Amino acid sequence: MTPERTTEAPAPRRTARNNILFTFGLVAAIYLAYLTRQVLFLIYVSALFAVVIMPLLNLIMRLRIGKWQPGRAIAILVLFVAAGGFLTVFIMFALPPVLRDMREFLTELPTRGPQLLSRVQKLPIARHIDMSSINDKLQDVASNFASYAFAGVKTGAGTLADILTCIVLTVYFVLEGETSYVWVMSFFENESRQRLHRALTRAELRMGKWLLGQGSLMLILGVTSTIVFASLHIRYAYALGVLMGLFNIIPVAGALFSMALVILVAAIDSWGRVLGVMIFYGIYAQVENAFLVPRIMKSSVDLPGIAVMVSLLIGSELAGVVGAMISVPTAVLVAVLLDEYLVKAPAVTVAAEEPVVHL
Residue 1 confidence class, pLDDT cut points 50, 70, 90? very low
Q: What is the pLDDT of residue 357?
A: 39
Write the CA distances from 77 to 70, 72, 308, integer angstroms. 10, 9, 33
Res 161: pLDDT: 82
Give the model confidence (pLDDT) of 255-278 as tens digits: 788 888 888 888 877 888 889 999
**The one-letter amino acid at 140:** D
The Cα-based distances of 254 to 250, 251, 285, 331 in angstroms read: 5, 6, 13, 18
Residues 209-244: pLDDT tens digits? Answer: 777 778 888 888 888 998 998 898 888 888 888 888
CA dist 70 and 63 (Å) reads: 7
How many Cα atoms are found within 13 Å in the side-chain-facing hemisphere of 123?
10
pLDDT of amino acid 132: 61
Residue-level pLDDT at 124: 60
Cα 168 from chain centre: 17
Helix axes 327-338, 190-231, angle to 10 degrees: 150
Task: Determine the Cα–Cα distance for residues 195 and 341; give it in Å rounded to an integer.
Answer: 9
Name which of 51, 49, 44 is nearest 83 in CA terms: 49
Cβ–Cβ < 8 Å for 166, 44: no
Give the start-to-end residue ranges of the domains of the chain: 20-103+162-187, 209-345
Q: How many degrees, rounded to 5, is the angle at CA 103 between CA 97 and CA 106?
A: 140
More confident residue, 148 or 96: 96
In this predicted model, what pLDDT tens digit does every residue of 304-355 receive, in sequence order? 767 777 887 888 788 777 787 788 888 888 888 888 888 765 544 444 444 4
Residue type, 52: V
Name the 3-class secondary structure at 250: coil
Among the listed ranges 33-42, 46-55, 146-155, 320-329, which one has the minimum average pLDDT value?
A: 146-155
Residues 234 and 269 sit within 8 Å (Cβ to Cβ): yes
3-state secondary structure of 65: strand
- The 3-state DSSP class for residue 9 equals coil
Q: Which residues contact 220 (CB under 8 A, 6 or more apart)?
A: 292
Of the pLDDT bands very low, low, confident and very high (cuts 50, 70, 90), residue 358 is very low
Summarize pLDDT for 183-212 with one digit per residue, the tens. 888 888 888 888 888 888 888 888 877 777
Q: Please state, in angstroms and rounded to a whole number, the distance separating the CA atoms of residues 258 and 121.
A: 29
d(CA 42, CA 238): 32
What's the rounded Cα separation, in Å, for the pair 34 and 319?
15
Is the model's pLDDT at 45 over the cut of 60? Answer: yes
